[in-house]
Amino acid sequence: MKLPGKIEVPVAGHRYWVTYLDQIADLATTIKTERSQFVLIDSTVDRLHGKAFRRALKGTQFLVIKAGEKSKSFAALEAIAEQLVKLGANRSSELIAIGGGMVGDLTGFLAGIFMRGIPFVQVPTTLLAMVDSSVGGKAAVNLKAGKNLAGVFHQPRAVYIIPSVLETLPARELKCGLAEAIKTALISENDFVTELERHSFALAAGSTELKAMVSAACITVKAAIVVQDEREQSIRAFLNFGHTLAHALEAQAGYKGILHGEAVAIGMRFAALLSRRLGYLTQADEQRITNLLAQYELPLTLADYLRLTRQKTAPQPKKLIELMRSDKKNKGKAIRFVLLNAPGEARLPEPVPEQELLASLKEFQALVRDERGR
């Protein structure tokens, strides 16, 4: 399999590389450091690949983190920090995150505050983490009030991507990564959108090389954005396309039943509808986005949300608006959305009047599961 190689992330004062590796064993010669290292590994990843990672990282202490969004909390953070101290971790140590976005976020946040900041390395094992969360230095935990509301900016020392581990990734998790890839394309380049339209979920599922190339394309886009706007003062907000409603849906579900990428897919479909209602996006382009999401077998509507969460009634528009008020992009009382002028051309977050938001949510609520461009 032909791998992408290396991608530079030249953040000012903290340049690092994303390196693609053929197999887990390659970490033995690439991840070395003079620091004492501690691995935080997702329990599911540990069950599937733990032996291989331990062989590659001999002499490194492993801490197993229970899989699931519940581990992305202050309670888990404190427990792990206490455990690290007991194991002898100090200011000269380094953390290694092995897992998906949850472990990467938790490890990055912990590294950012432990002993007032220590280095860490990302080894993402899900496609979602490989296309998005492992790069850029945003790390956070969830609060009861919402997702990722407590966090830091703390860039990794390095990122190592091993596409072969995706062979054990469940189809549902794979679709989540593809949702984030579609998001990246929609906010960056029409050519990238066109390239994704040439493929489908079935093709991506059967090709590790295709997944690796999609990951590299997304990281190249994200690296270019992060270098210009590390602290999310302007264009980095583009990366939140689809996330405003997504985070509200996840909070409404109590972070159960619906995966992050699934919520983002629904959020993108709503953001496209909102962009069209506000006169930015044509109806043809809205349909094009709907078709692309459907091509990768992603959820699109609140009916899909109910199916995934097994809830009996859809969240009411006013409740969703209430949940969206805690979104980090908001300023004052205004709820702000990243919208599109066209596939590949995003707009900076802008306030949407509550009356328009309520009307848009009611129109979105009326969409049914069969509304998939077929």
Options 94, 173, 232, 250, the catalytic residue: 232
Mean pLDDT of the chain: 94
Residue 368 in this model has a pLDDT that exceeds 80 = no
Tell me, yes or no, whether 371 lies in a domain.
no
Kindly report which listed range (55-59, 308-312, 325-329, 353-357) carries the lowest average pLDDT score: 325-329
Residues in a beta bridge with 65: 42
What are the tens digits of pLDDT across the range 80-111? Answer: 999 999 999 999 999 999 999 999 999 999 99
Give the whole-angstrom CA distance, residue 289 versus residue 306: 22
The two structure tokens encoding residue 180: 């984030």
Note whether 107 and 51 are same-domain residues.
yes
Which is catalytic among the residues 175, 183, 211, 260? 260
Asked if pLDDT for residue 369 goes beyond 70, the answer is no
Catalytic residue among 49, 154, 211, 222: 222
> Looking at the predicted structure, is the pLDDT value of residue 372 above 50?
no
User: What does the pLDDT average to over 323-345?
Assistant: 89
pLDDT at 1 (0 to 100): 60
Q: What is the pLDDT of residue 32?
A: 84
Does 147 qualify as catalytic in the annotation?
no
Asked if pLDDT for residue 333 goes beyond 80, the answer is no
Determine the structural domain holding residue 140 and report its residue range. Answer: 6-167
Tell me which of 135, 167, 199 is where a domain ends. 167
Question: Is there a single domain that holds both residue 178 and residue 218?
Answer: yes
Mean pLDDT of 185-189: 97
Q: Do 160 and 179 share a structural domain?
A: no
Task: Indicate whether 148 and 30 sit together in one domain.
Answer: yes
Residues 133 and 185 both lie in one domain: no
In the three-class reduction of DSSP (H, G, I as helix; E, B as strand; rest coil), residue 361 is classed as helix
The token pair at 187 is: 């906010």
Say if 48 falls within a structural domain.
yes
Q: Indicate whether 100 and 176 sit together in one domain.
A: no
Does residue 14 carry a catalytic annotation?
no
In the chain, the number of structural domains is: 2
pLDDT band at 374 (very low <50, low <70, confident <90, very high): very low
Do 30 and 161 meet the contact criterion of CB atoms below 8 Å apart? no
pLDDT class of 150 with cuts at 50, 70, 90 = very high
pLDDT grade, residue 329 (50/70/90)? confident
131 and 191 in a single domain? The answer is no
In a domain, 373, yes or no: no
Last residue of a domain, one of 167, 198, 232: 167
CATH label of the domain that carries residue 10: 3.40.50.1970
51 is known as an active-site residue: no
- Give the mean model confidence (pLDDT) for residues 7-27: 94
148 and 282 within one domain: no
The answer to whether the CB of 66 falls within 8 A of the CB of 40 is no
Of the candidates 180, 230, 262, 286, the residue annotated as catalytic is 180
- Say whether both 257 and 142 belong to one domain: no
> Mean per-residue pLDDT for 324-339?
86
Whether 126 is in a domain gets the answer yes
- Taking residues 248-264, report their average pLDDT: 94
Closest by CA position to 236, among listed 182, 188, 285: 188
pLDDT at position 237, please?
Answer: 93
Does residue 374 sit within a domain?
A: no
| 32-52 confidence digits (pLDDT tens) | 888 999 999 999 999 999 999
- Of 148, 154, 157, 240, which residue is the catalytic one? 240
Q: Is 260 a catalytic residue?
A: yes
Q: Tell me: the pLDDT tens digits for 199-245?
A: 999 999 999 999 999 999 999 999 999 999 998 889 999 999 999 99
According to DSSP, residue 275 is labeled H
Residue 10: per-residue pLDDT = 93
Selected catalytic residue, list 2, 58, 86, 116: 116
Residue 199 among the catalytic residues: no
Instruction: State the catalytic residue, choosing from 183, 243, 269, 372.
Output: 243
Whole-angstrom Cα distance, residue 136 to residue 128? 14
- Clarify whether residues 180 and 276 are in a common domain: yes
Dump pLDDT digits (tens) for 274-319.
Answer: 999 999 999 999 999 999 999 999 999 999 999 999 998 888 999 9
User: What pTM did the predictor assign?
Assistant: 0.92
Mean pLDDT of 52-73: 95
Domain limit, last residue, from 167, 188, 205 = 167
φ, ψ at 103 (rounded to 5°): -65, -40
Average pLDDT over residues 360-371: 81
CA-derived radius of gyration, the chain: 20
Any domain includes 78 = yes
State the DSSP code for 315. Answer: P
> Are residues 151 and 11 part of one domain?
yes
Which has more confidence, 334 or 125?
Answer: 125
Query: What is the average pLDDT across 134-161?
Result: 93
Answer left, alpha or beta for residue 254, where phi above 0 means left and psi between -120 and 50 means alpha.
left
Active site residue 138: yes
- Residues 213, 350, single domain; the answer is yes
Which CATH number fits the domain that encloses residue 315? 1.20.1090.10
**Domain-located, residue 127:** yes
In a domain, 372, yes or no: no
240 given a catalytic annotation: yes
